[in-house]
Amino acid sequence: MRWNLKPKPSAEKVKKLATELTIDPILASLLVQRGIETFEAAKKFFRPSLEDLHDPFLMKDMQKAVDRIEKALQSGENIMVYGDYDVDGTTSVALVSSFLKTLSPNIATYIPDRYKEGYGVSYQGIDFADDNGFSLIIALDCGVKAIEKVAYAAEKGIDFIICDHHRPGDELPSAVAVLDPKREDCFYPYKELCGCGVGFKLVQALSSGIGWTIDDLVPYLDLVATAIGADIVPITGENRILAYNGLQVINKAPRIGFQAILKQVKKQKLTITDVVFIIAPRINAAGRMKHGNHAVTLLTETDINQAALWAAEIEQYNADRREADKRITKEALQQIEELKEKERYTTVVYREDWHKGVIGIVASRLTETYYRPTLVFTKSGDMLAGSARSVKGFDVYKALEQCGEHIEQFGGHKYAAGLTLKEKDYEGFKKTFEEVVRATIDPKLLDPELIIDSEINFGDINPKFYRIIKQLAPFGPENRTPIFMSTHVCDTGHGKKVGEDGDHLRLVMQQGNSASLTGIGFGLGHKSDVACTGAPFKVAYTVDENEWQGTVSLQLKLKDIKS
């Protein structure tokens, strides 16, 4: 790992903020690094208030969207709420459909089949709407590039409202309204909403017309917080407000569907990390292994007994997903070893019988292993479907744009994308993608980077210090859990490899005359030859808590160790 220590912020700003907040300068430094330099900014950061959400009508086309939906509600039109099959899409559909059902019975939901219809708006979905008398489709977490499909719907007399957060192309679909903060002509103040966040802004705008306040929308925030965590969007600005308040809903008054999931895993208070690793994979598993409809059904269920049945079903899908993920990752790693392509700047693998629902997860696993922009392909009908993942600092979306001659369709973000291509184009694509990445990537990005917030001493770490760090949560992109480093650290002689295969490392460390601190390093068993010799070393870590037999103590989660 490359260790990169963040530059020290202005000493004057740190001193001023530390005095105003009566906190340790180290903690004030963390805040200044995050752009929080005044007492007022700190107050808003530590107590994110729903009152600070932006006016939804600042979003381009919001008034058009509200007018069309109000017209549909007044005239009793049938409205279809359409969304993608992942967490962001299914939570969006659950949110918008359950809100609209409080205003009209003529609301139905539609999630495309991952395997028969693929990503985004589908002709099959539009035909279903036409056959069943729907005159308005609200598309969530997809649609900003569905130019032909929106035109096809218009021919059938069906209007579209699009709520998306992906990058638009050069041309927008001819929908009644296209809500997307990433539109170049949209001056909405916050650009990083997820799809469910855009759906929430639509609901916020609609609710103002019926006299609801923001407090009336709080029960929907568990869905928004889950989507924010799962979609890996920055937890800054509005996303921080929505995630913070949504987590409170999850922990104090979660919807019936979440209650049923959490009962299965027996977890008490959830952090955003727990949401990402416990709730999100289960919601995702429905679309990956069976159908996204199952997730929407669970998320909108109001009967606890019925929800328990849906949750048990989804738990099984998740177990199946884990099994497929493990097997395919092993096969993909084997394929890379056999191809002897370790000198490449990219990792691209394909096997026709890999499960399409887990290739994105496998791509993430391969990226963790080889730290290269990665694509995993499988057969999907008469095409190949691929899932792309990138390394920090490299825009895989832009790289795919330069491989357009080999690609039939693609979409996504800087770090994750999906695409389809013809089998005959696979080798050509693989060659071009390698050439594009090799020509454009900074080689240092092919080594994982550990960004360290600050160098501190063990003597700085105490319960009050940790309590304030916890208040920086929820953590996520652009507000990561603070990583510290300490130098001239020695193991006290109790350090050892732990875990079945000795993959992990447990140390009891001292720095000078400080009290000893216990550290656990998952996957750092191989560092025992640096840490357990009695020689001093430097260590990078986060501060955490450990509970053992009812006793809670501070511990360090080790990120890396260097001599």
Give the domains, in start order, of the chain with CATH numbers: 2-7+450-562 (2.40.50.460), 56-313 (3.90.1640.30), 341-446 (3.10.310.30)
Integer CA distances (angstroms), 413 to 110, 118, 209, 330, 506, in order:
24, 17, 34, 27, 38
| pLDDT confidence of residue 341 | 64
Q: Are 81 and 143 in contact (CB under 8 A)?
A: no
Tell me the two tokens of residue 504.
């992990």
> Could you give the CA distance from residue 242 to residue 334 in angstroms, rounded to a whole number?
42
Cis peptide before 474 (omega within 30 of 0): yes
CB neighbours of residue 370 within 10 Å: 18
Alpha-carbon dihedral sign for residues 549, 550, 556, 560 = positive
Tens-level pLDDT at each residue, the chain (563 residues): 899 999 999 999 999 999 999 999 999 999 999 999 999 999 999 999 999 999 999 999 999 999 999 999 999 999 999 999 999 999 999 999 999 999 999 999 999 998 888 889 999 999 999 999 999 999 999 999 999 999 999 999 999 999 999 989 899 999 999 999 999 999 999 999 999 999 999 999 999 999 999 999 999 999 999 999 999 899 999 999 999 999 999 999 999 999 999 988 877 789 999 999 999 999 999 988 889 999 999 999 999 999 999 999 999 999 999 999 999 999 999 999 887 766 899 999 999 999 998 999 999 999 999 999 999 999 998 999 999 999 999 999 999 999 999 999 888 788 889 999 999 999 999 999 999 999 999 999 999 999 999 999 999 999 999 999 999 999 999 999 999 999 999 999 999 999 988 999 999 999 999 899 999 999 999 999 999 999 999 999 999 988 877 788 899 999 999 99
Report the SS3 class of residue 145: coil
- DSSP state, residue 57: G
| pLDDT confidence of residue 342 | 61
Q: Are 27 and 470 in contact (CB under 8 A)?
A: no
Cis peptide before 281 (omega within 30 of 0): no
| pLDDT confidence of residue 267 | 75
CA nearest neighbour of 399 among 357, 430, 427, 358: 430
